[in-house]
Amino acid sequence: MQTRTLGKNGLEVSALGLGCMGMSFAYGTAPDTKEMVSLLHAAVERGVTFFDTAEVYGPYKNEDLLGEALSPIRDKVVIATKFGFVIDPGSTPGRRGLDSRPEHIRAVAEASLKRLRTDVIDLFYQHRVDPDVPIEEVAGTVGDLIREGKVKHFGLSEASPATIRRAHAVQPVTALQSEYSLWWREPEAELLPVLEELGIGFVPFSPLGRGFLTGKIDTSTTFEKGDLRATLPRFTPEALAANQALVDLLATMAKRKLATPAQIALAWLLARKPWIVPIPGTTKLNRLEENIHAASIELTPEDVAEIESAAARIPLEGGRYNEQMEKLVDR
């Protein structure tokens, strides 16, 4: 596995990371913990060094899982986690589910360190921008944690270009995490230019469109109780049918490259910029190995141009978020 560098402060990670949310949260019944510990170990054995979690995944269960699995090999891995949500909304009236007050950031950091069984968080993201707390205060607080040795790098998630600039002026931002794939290309217009200008790495989550770009989801797919996708506009049967043309495009290129649609989707992201590190998630070893192989697939500039030109002609249907989730995106 090749490595890439996020930000200007030398955070070196594997070219593909592993999004761990689905191991505990969001996609129906959570898998067996022992199986997920084994999968995390398998990822490390295959060269993955970058693991993404958050306190809200579970909540708390995902950090506990990573702590159990990765603490014995802590020196071989980079762990990113996040702050910014109120786990119990009833405990903090009027905060709309968000809380990035300095005292809350510190409390989350201390709790995450214990669950992750480590003495430092490699990358600490603000999970969602809190409109009630100036981003300068957030950046300053994380900067203090960095100086205290509890955090190494500061990150933002789903933040707007203006917010990124304000935060970066106080404490250098190492990475931005937002959704990005052939299914969601909004970051190209304004985010990518700002990140390139400021020297900030980009960590796309849902790089496979929450599974859609693998070609394994169609109008006959049913989602079990607790699966987030059942609430998202892009996963209605009508939207899935309309957007199938994008999967067909990936399948055409995949056949030419002796690959899978998922591998082409990831290879396309890797070809976009050398400071982009996708974090596809999975709970299955064969999918983990399939995703990892994407890092060795070379798309020429002509391949990339062909994919993007064809994708631009496909009208996509359905919003990526439901109304409640959309309200949490910084604009």
Half-sphere CA count of 224, side-chain side, radius 13 A: 6
Q: How far apart are CA 172 and CA 166, in angstroms?
A: 10
57 is catalytic: yes
Query: Which positions ≥6 away from 213 have C-beta within 8 Å?
Result: 181, 182, 183, 246, 247, 250, 261, 262, 265
Instruction: Tell me the pairing of strands 151-157 and 173-179.
Output: parallel
Q: Catalytic pick from 27, 57, 125, 180?
A: 57
Residues classed as catalytic: 57
